[in-house]
Amino acid sequence: WTDGTLLDAENSLTELAALAETAGSQVLEGLIQRRNRPDPATYIGRGKVDDLSSVVLSAGADTVICDGELSPSQLRNLEQRTKVKVVDRTALILDIFAQHAKSKEGRAQVELAQLEYLLPRLRGWGETLSRQTGGSGRGGGAGGGVGVRGPGETKLETDRRRIRHRIARLRREIKAMRTVRETKRARRTRNAVPAVAIAGYTNAGKSSLLNRLTGAGVLVEDALFATLDPTTRRSTTSDGRVYTLSDTVGFVRHLPHQIVEAFRSTLEEVAEADLVVHVVDGTHPDPEEQVRAVREVLGEVGADRLPELLVVNKTDAADEETLLRLKRLWPDAVFVSAHNGRGIDDLRETIERRLPRPAVELRVVLP
């Protein structure tokens, strides 16, 4: 469902399809419904569920992915009606993060986010479980508070307790890992090595640009979130000054709150940078919206006050009209193609120019 414009909904659905493909699914059909608010029981309207069921049947789909966060009961109702697995946007993104997290800290953060997502949802699953166990153990018919106090409930409580312990432990571990990272960062600050963070919407070409700029062998995938853990490379300016370039986690619109929190440390790294190179995909149907979304997230981690260098990438594949429009809109942006290398020298020079200059030390020698 959508309460926005149809174009918004279509863009969001295109993004969802790209996310699903990243997670390894094959996308068959898209379905949009305009409503003022989601249906409390079934998310989309009850009539629309019938349409959905017939689409599922005719397309031979085995999964329905919803572009939003479903309540446990909406999820259960939709699964019962469509007879296939139902996944929401948050679960999908968490799944992708889990597939791609590489560092120890990244993996711990993903697991924490997954458990936090799971914990309130255990209820729906537990209710079904306790009803089943209660039914067979007590001859059925147990309703209300009595029926749910079966062995399933005990099991559910145990599961919940175990998950809470694990969450607490992960939080402690992440805190310790963060201290280590901050120490490293403090060292960098002491050495006064300027840091450049490459930020941008997911799939904008951040890894490709980092490779172009430094020749580093960073994994490039035609997949969203190929980059999860910040990859830092050293580079040198033409006059011999050293600086670092870091690839950062890709942004998406409506980032689930579990992920924003879990990945704050990764994003905080951006806030420590001296310059943010903000990469925009010139072939995207709505680059302005992408820029707006990324700036919003940068604002959330306090990185919106940093100097920003806008870079429009994929100029080899973008259409001329769009590029002209974007040039007028962002006169200071650098236009590049990570693929054919066009504009890369210009980008390198612009980055060097915008790096902070080391403070000039003035020594007065007294006799």
User: What residues line the site for ligand GDP (CB under 6 A)?
Assistant: 200, 202-208, 220-222, 226-227, 250, 313-314, 316-317, 337-339
Find the shortest distance in angstroms from Cβ 313 to ligand GDP: 5
Q: Is the dihedral of CA 300, 305, 307, 312 positive or negative?
A: positive
Q: How far is the CB of 304 from ligand GDP (least distance, A)?
A: 20
Given the complex with ligand GDP, which of 112 and 204 has the nearer CB atom? 204
Helix 104-118 and helix 151-191: axis angle, to 10°? 150
Tell me how far apart the alpha carbons of residues 97 and 321 are, in angstroms, rounded to a whole number: 35
Q: Which one, 192 or 317, has the nearer CB to ligand GDP?
A: 317
Smallest gap from residue 116 Cβ to ligand GDP (A): 25
SS3 state at 280: strand
**Closest to ligand GDP by CB, 177 or 220:** 220
Least gap, CB of 247 to ligand GDP (angstroms) = 6
| Cα three-residue angle 296-301-306, rounded to 5 degrees | 80
Return the number of the residue (178 or 339) whose C-beta is nearest ligand GDP: 339
Our measurement of the distance from residue 14's CA atom to the centroid of its chain's CA atoms, rounded to an integer in Å, reads: 15
Q: How many whole angstroms from its chain centre is CA 124?
A: 26
> Smallest gap, in angstroms, from Cβ of residue 219 to ligand GDP?
8
Beta partners for 245?
196, 233
Find the shortest distance in angstroms from Cβ 315 to ligand GDP: 7
Q: How far is the CB of 74 from ligand GDP (least distance, A)?
A: 31
Residue closer to ligand GDP, measured from CB, 222 or 239: 222
Q: What is the CA radius of gyration of the chain?
A: 25
Q: Which is nearer to ligand GDP, 69 or 229 (CB)?
A: 229
Q: Which is nearer to ligand GDP, 65 or 252 (CB)?
A: 252
SS (H, E, C) 298-366: HHHCCCCCCCEEEEEECCCCCCHHHHHHHHHHCCCCEECCCCCCCCHHHHHHHHHHHCCCCCCCCCCCC
H/E stretch holding 177: helix 151-191
